[in-house]
Structure 1
Amino acid sequence: MTDTPYVLRADDDGVTTLTLNRPQARNALSQGMLEALRAALAEIAADASVQVLIIAGSGPAFCAGHDLKELRAGNYAPDYVDALFAACAEVMQAIVDLPKPVIARVHGVATAAGAQLVASADLAFAADDARFATPGVNIGLFCSTPMVALSRNLTRKHAMQMLLSGDLIDADTAFRFGLINEVVPAAELEQRTLAFARQIAGKSPLTLAIGKEAFYRQAELSLADAYAYTSQVMAKNLQAEDAKEGIDAFLGKRQPVWCGR
């Protein structure tokens, strides 16, 4: 146990940053870290003042995945392992389900469940010296749960390349594979990520929530079902006060004033 918080929260005019805070362990996702993340995400989901969430890491790395020392100390007990992976899956799903955009701000390494965290975020900005890998195959433990998020972001062959080789890839390769949105000079990473977060935070929060939910739901549907579903979403969205305000503002050549309804 430790008095040091596993996750640090900072709020800045609609943009909240959660910083993983186990720098000595390269922010490995221990039981405590996962529980702290789960609680923080639940709090942010209910906080109307938060428009956009940034997830970052303290120290030399973004996140090195699961805590292998903790796994070994737990003697790989089935009940403990089941609970750990279920908690990780819950956190990743909570990121996808969060009704606010989530941006991963990546520096150092993001490996195994750390790469899963990047892939689970809606957007990802990475320093030009960042590195990514799903190296479980190298230690006899295939990155099966990280595979879920990776296979929904990368092409199948690129995902399999990472999963089967376990090799570190650089930020430019991660960009080419589709794992991250932008490669930024390390000294500019925080500023660039915050600037983009603020740009998103200027949109209607209701519209962002509607759009994010619809994006992930339609992606799992057939083409015909996706169009049927999103047509209903747009028709319902059009009845919102923010949509009417946005259209009036556009036609009137003025800035919209969002009410979140």
Structure 2
Amino acid sequence: MEFLSYRTADRIGYITLRNDKQRNALSLPLIHEMEALLQQIEREQAVNVLVIEAEGKVFSSGHNLREVEGQSTQDVLHLFNECQRLMLKIRNIPQVTIAKVHGIATAAGCQLVAACDLAVSAEQAQFAAPGVHIGFFCSTPAVFISRNVGRKKAAEMLFTGDFISAQDALESGLVNKVVPQEELDKAVDELAASVARHSLHTLAIGKRGFYQQLQMDDFQALSYASEIMATNSQHPDAVEGINAFLSKRKPNWSDRA
């Protein structure tokens, strides 16, 4: 892999962006590389959690504007459609995704944080949707940002283009936890381990249902969730988990075989 590296430990996968020279921009080659890697991870089912992290000074600066400058509308649309495919894969993959943000995350880089299921940030990290500064409004980042933070805060980020601090991101719901830089590795590993200990099949059922019900009204969502739980109750891991709980023993998940 040219722009990414991948390693695993204890059913946790670590995808590292490795293009500091271009501020870990979500270039078209990087997008294609990450989507292919996610497809492989989904196929192999060797991990339950994916941590998305980055090397260098920034987490991700967003799209590479050199892939936009001078391009036709159709070419630019192709770039954004490919990025949309990547975000959809992050959403649909059965593994729970955690963004590990050590530095600046802007535009599509901020979108990547927002698209992940969970996010942990270092105190020094900053977040922005700065497209308005260059006349290129962050319309696609706005989708996930506005589904993570409140409407007024999302509007502030988008219409000013200014950075918000990690603490602001925490209070607004963009990240789950903020820790000192030197504690970031430990905090992410602990969160990842607390998820990875569970059955991948159960996590996949829960992740899919969680996002589907968010689009429904209350009682439609409740009816949908009831159907999911009824079906889930017949899965071997649910049968094993319930039996283990009643027997006061540790369950043996099917993905550990």
Runs of 5+ unmatched residues, structure 2: none
Offset from partner CA, 1:154-197 (integer Å, 9 cap, x none): 11111111111111011000000100000011111112101211
Aligned to 2:81: 86
Aligned to 1:199: 194
For 2:8, the aligned partner's letter is: D
Aligned to 2:4: 7
Give me the whole-angstrom Cα distance separating, in 1, the residues matched to 2:71 and 2:158: 22
Give me the whole-angstrom Cα distance separating, in 2, the residues matched to 1:207 and 1:67: 37
Q: 1:32 aligns with which of 10, 16, 29?
A: 29
Aligned to 1:99: 94
Pick which of 190-199 and 111-120 moved more. Answer: 190-199
For 1:127, the aligned partner's letter is: A
Measure how far apart 1:8 and its partner are.
0.8
Report % sequence identity: 44
Give me the whole-angstrom Cα distance separating, in 1, the residues matched to 2:250 and 2:180: 33
Runs of 5+ unmatched residues, structure 1: none
Aligned residues: 256
Residue pair 1:242, 1:260 contacting (<8 A) in 2 also: no
Offset from partner CA, 1:38-68 (integer Å, 9 cap, x none): 1111111112211110001111110000111
Q: 1:42 aligns with which of 39, 42, 45?
A: 39
Give me the whole-angstrom Cα distance separating, in 2, the residues matched to 1:65 and 1:104: 14
Aligned to 1:256: 251
Q: 2:49 aligns with which of 42, 52, 55?
A: 52
Give me the whole-angstrom Cα distance separating, in 1, the residues matched to 2:55 and 2:40: 21
Give me the whole-angstrom Cα distance separating, in 2, the residues matched to 1:71 and 1:191: 38
Measure how far apart 1:70 and its partner are.
3.1
User: 2:53 aligned with 1:77, yes or no?
Assistant: no
User: 2:159 aligned with 1:164, yes or no?
Assistant: yes
TM-score under structure 2 normalisation?
0.97
Q: 2:136 aligns with which of 122, 129, 141?
A: 141
Measure how far apart 1:79 and its partner are.
2.4
Q: 1:153 aligns with which of 148, 153, 158?
A: 148
Equivalent position SS for 1:46: helix
Give me the whole-angstrom Cα distance separating, in 2, the residues matched to 1:163 and 1:78: 22
Aligned to 2:232: 237
Aligned to 2:20: 23
Equivalent position SS for 1:65: coil
User: 2:177 aligned with 1:182, yes or no?
Assistant: yes
RMSD: 1.2
